Structure 1
Amino acid sequence: MASIAPQPAGPGPIEWRCESAHVPYRAALDQMEARNSAVADHSASELVWLLEHPPVYTAGTSADASELVDPRFEVVEAGRGGRYTYHGPGQRVGYLVLDLNKRGKDVRCFVHAIEGWVIETLADFGVPSWRAAGRVGIWTEDIDGREAKIGAIGVRVRRWITMHGFSVNLDPDLSHFGGIVPCGIEEFGVTSLARLGKQVSSAEWDEALIARAEAFLDALDKPARKACRT
């Protein structure tokens, strides 16, 4: 796999890996599982891995078979929380293998921090977005004025080491989401930066995201965790 490697950002010996080639989902899942065990055993550093996949539907632990409407692509059991989601070219995925043993042991605050990281990065490209009560993910106003999902979040924690993370729609084929009920939410659509008139490459997105990484990691520190309860 060809890749580019930005300089590490934020505190701690974290590996920052940015893939320029598409990584098959099952291969990424295997690597995440192995890295999770290695971080838990203190034989490898934490990892933030930014990449894209060939088209695939992934099923979380709460997936409902009735929400798999048209399985036109491979369906993979992901082991993360949540329901069905789609990954494919033009959607940037961030996998986080981080040690919550030293970051507060608070999954809710971990998810809150991820949301904030993505929201602030989207703002750098002129896209206002927000959290929505009762709906995990990142939401924005679509071109028709309706609320739509631009980013998804699904995590798994084992021995307080995280896996999976988030995805953001830069310029995917949005028709591919039609094969599922994305994250089990029928009443809202999905959108992308490109649909909103923002042409952002994966390299540009990665650079902006990494520039805000220190604030994300700071939000996981114990003194800052009170913010996730508001």
Structure 2
Amino acid sequence: MQVVNLLHSGFTDYREVDAMQRRLHADTLNGGPDSLIVAQFSPTWTAGRHTKPEDIRDQSLPVIAVDRAGSVTWHGPGQVVIYPVVRLKQPVDLIAWIRSVEYGVIETVREEWGLPAHRIEGRAGVWLTEEGRPDRKICAIGLKVAQGSTLHGIALNVSIDRAHAFGGIIPCGLADAQVASLNWEGITSTVSAAAGALIPRLFHSIRPQLATPDQELETRTTA
């Protein structure tokens, strides 16, 4: 599996990465390699299939309609995004795929940074919960499977700026929840370091769902 690392390019336009993932998706359907795309986006809103007009209160950032599940979210500085573009084993078990992605993130947040991350039944993503506080999503997960190959992925908040992230939307359309970031939880990490911790664990967790599970990671850095 190739790791297409775009982090050294700085902030990447969402549309460029979206076009890349669709090219790689087409390649996988023709027997090409599985891939993990790793990026940090320029600020933007992405609106999933379940977005309601009232979920976006501020349109000062570009609003990009996307074909993943879920509502609107923010992408931008301090957030690492990973898109697995992989062929799944047949018959495709969509729930097992979602759980495998969630598990990779949960294990990373717990083992690498010591936070009690977990999933919440009926709510996508990876969460932190604490009595007396609203649930806090530290990693958004929005996935799609088309013709047995996957699109979209995860967005882990690492070192985001409270003043400029999420304020203009109802994140994921959940008015009763909040977002979290590693730096807001007292943890200092760069996006690159967080990606380095997450990639191998995510690869290990999704490997049983792959059509060709006997693979190794091969990094291709894009300048």
Short-chain TM bin: 0.7 to 0.9
Tell me the alpha carbon deviations over residues 177-213 of structure 1, each in whole angstroms, 9 at most, x when there is no partner: 0211111101011110000010111221122113324
Structure 1 segment 51-90 matched on structure 2, within 5 A: 51-90=39-78
Quick one: distance in 1 between partners of 2:84 and 2:23?
13
Q: Secondary structure at the match of 2:167?
A: helix
Residues 1-230 of structure 1 aligned to structure 2 (within 5 Å): 14-20=1-7, 21-42=10-31, 44-100=32-88, 102=89, 104-123=91-110, 124-141=112-129, 145-175=133-163, 176-220=165-209
Gaps of 5+ in 2: 212-223
Cα drift, residue 214 of structure 1? 4.5
Contact 2:2 2:35 in 1 (8 A): yes
Distance (Å, rounded) in 2 between the aligned partners of 1:25 and 1:113? 25
For residue 179 of structure 1, give the secondary structure of its aligned residue in structure 2.
coil
> Percent same amino acid at aligned positions?
29
- For residue 18 of structure 1, report the CA deviation from its aligned partner: 2.1
Q: What's the RMSD between the two structures over aligned residues? A: 1.9
- Aligned residue pairs total 207
Separation in 2, partners of 1:215, 1:104: 20
What SS does the aligned partner of 2:39 have? strand
Where in structure 1 do 4 or more consecutive aligned residues deviate above 3 Å?
none
Q: Tell me the TM-score normalised to structure 1 length.
A: 0.84
Deviates most, 170-179 or 213-222: 213-222
Q: Deviations over 1:26-53 (max 9, x none)?
A: 11111111111111111x2111011110
Distance 2:90 2:189 in 1: 31
Q: AA paired with 1:172?
A: I
Maintained 8 Å contact 2:109/2:115:
yes
Matched-pair contact (CA < 8 Å) for 2:105–2:201: no
* 1:220, distance to aligned residue in structure 2 (A): 2.2
CA shift digits 1:128-155 (9 cap, x unpaired): 101001111110147x854211010101
For the residues of structure 1 that align with 2:91 and 2:115, how far apart are their CA atoms?
A: 30
Residue 179 to residue 208, structure 1, CA distance change in 2 (3 Å): same
Distance change (3 Å), C-alpha of 1:145 and 1:83: closer
CA contact (8 A) 2:87 2:210 kept: no
CA distance in structure 2 between the aligned counterparts of 1:219 and 1:152, rounded to whole angstroms? 22
Match of 2:219 in 1: none
Is this contact kept in 2: 1:36–1:163, CA < 8 A? yes
Q: CA deviation at 1:219?
A: 4.3
